[in-house]
Amino acid sequence: MREIIFDTETTGLDPRAGDRLVEIGCIEMVNRVATGRTWHGYFNPERVMPPEAERIHGLSDAFLADKPLFASRAQEFLDFIADSPLVAHNAGFDFGFVNAELAMCNLAGLGMERMVDTVALARARHPGAKNSLDALCTRYGIDRSHRTLHGALLDAELLAQVYVELLGGRQIGLELVAEIDIVTTEFSMTVRTERTFRPARPHRASAEELAAHREFLKTVKAPLWGGPYSAD
């Protein structure tokens, strides 16, 4: 199954208030394994970058001044994601901005049925706990030491690892010998081993064993059964 893990950076919190998309980073995963294929873009938002937003992602007006408009790469983005499910952290936020940009290009928006929100997954798995991307990386032991600022591609790479952990993680180094048959489903793995069947062992005592037992019982003084022993 192909999935796209993605993240966005923006000029603010609300596209309805004029905030714009300035960066998208996408990671392709197939069967929950990153393939190495990515898609990334910076975009000129055609507006001034608010200082509070720049403090989060570090993308300045000067840096974005020569970047293309989203419209010039919109179809390239749509071709990359194709019809795959789209995984994002607080996905409603990212979908809102991408769909606002697509609307300005007179292109159809992303269907919400494609959305996989890792915040919702995290809340279901860790109710009451902090579920920011940083908190989840800490919980699952994912190295984020190189994340000094938010960045769409970097955050998508971290989220791809978090997503796998939220769905149960991987058993690294699991080695299965040839005679084991593995049955894999989307969420579970059942291991069936081949068995060697042997004939049942006889459990009735032999004549020699019964004779030896009778001789032993003759040596027992004051037996609990209160009388002479009979093996018959």
- Whole-angstrom Cα distance, residue 173 to residue 191? 16
Which residue of the set 126, 150, 203, 213 is catalytic?
150
> Is 40 a catalytic site residue?
no
Q: Taking the alpha carbons of 158, 160, 166, 170 in that order, is the dihedral positive or negative?
A: negative
Phi-psi region at 168: left, alpha or beta (left = phi > 0; alpha = psi -120 to 50): left
| Strands annotated E in the chain | 2-10, 21-30, 33-42, 86-88, 115-117, 180-184, 189-193
Backbone φ, ψ for residue 215 (5° rounding): -65, -35
- Whole-angstrom Cα distance, residue 119 to residue 87? 10
Cβ partners under 8 Å of residue 35, min gap 6: 28, 29
Residues assigned a catalytic role:
150
